[in-house]
Structure 1
Amino acid sequence: MPTLAVYIILGIDWAVIPVGVFAFVHALLQRADAFTAIDRLTKPAWLGITGGGTAALALFSFGDYTIMFWIAGLVAVLVYIVDVRPKLIEVQRGNRW
């Protein structure tokens, strides 16, 4: 019978996949010139990073020896969400004054 720890690990594994999908879809829906306007990598580069990160989150697990790849995927997706996404929103919204 699985222990509580197994259920927690499975919950973490499944909870981060929608985060990766969100990051990829958000990058997909943004204008390509917005990425260069914020002095970040290009849109295709971020699509590759977020897509690869999401694939790593889906293919590898938090609870076994593939955790290194899982963490790399999570870091890639979170960098987009925390650093790139707010700047994209700001540059596309424009000056509100």
Structure 2
Amino acid sequence: MLLTAFGGLMWLLYTAMLVLAVVALVMAALFRDDAYRAADKKTKGFWLIILGVTVAVNLLIPMLFLQLAGLVATIVFRRRLSALSRRSGGRAGPYNGGR
């Protein structure tokens, strides 16, 4: 019974990491190129590749340490560029410097 509960917990953890990675990938695809330049962060292509690999690892390779590395990349992306989204009024459009 304890192993069944642990298996259910791990499945829930894997699913949550996959959902976070997919949401971050969609966000990365929706942000415009100038948003990345305004935030002085890596390019849009860089983040699309990193987050795409994260989604692929979560779907195809059930190894926790690889999934945790992808989770770190997802969290870094969301923290860096979500502030930009809030400053631009929630839109993924161009950043105008808060004007």
| Residue of structure 1 aligned with 2:82, choices 82, 85, 90 | 85
One-letter amino acid matched to 1:25: V
Q: TM-score, normalised by structure 2?
A: 0.79
Aligned to 2:71: 74
Matching of residue 95 in structure 1 with residue 98 in structure 2:
yes
User: C-alpha root-mean-square deviation of aligned residues, in Å?
Assistant: 2.0
Percent identical across equivalent pairs? 32
Q: Which runs of 5+ in 1 are unaligned?
A: none
Aligned to 1:44: 45
Q: Would the alpha carbon gap of residues 10 and 31 (structure 1) be closer, same or farther in structure 2, given more than 3 Å must change? A: same
Aligned to 2:21: 20
CA drift of 1:31 comes to 0.8
Q: TM-score, normalised by structure 1?
A: 0.80
| CA distances 1:16-65 after superposition (whole Å, capped 9, x unpaired) | 2111111001110111011011110011111111111122222233xxxx
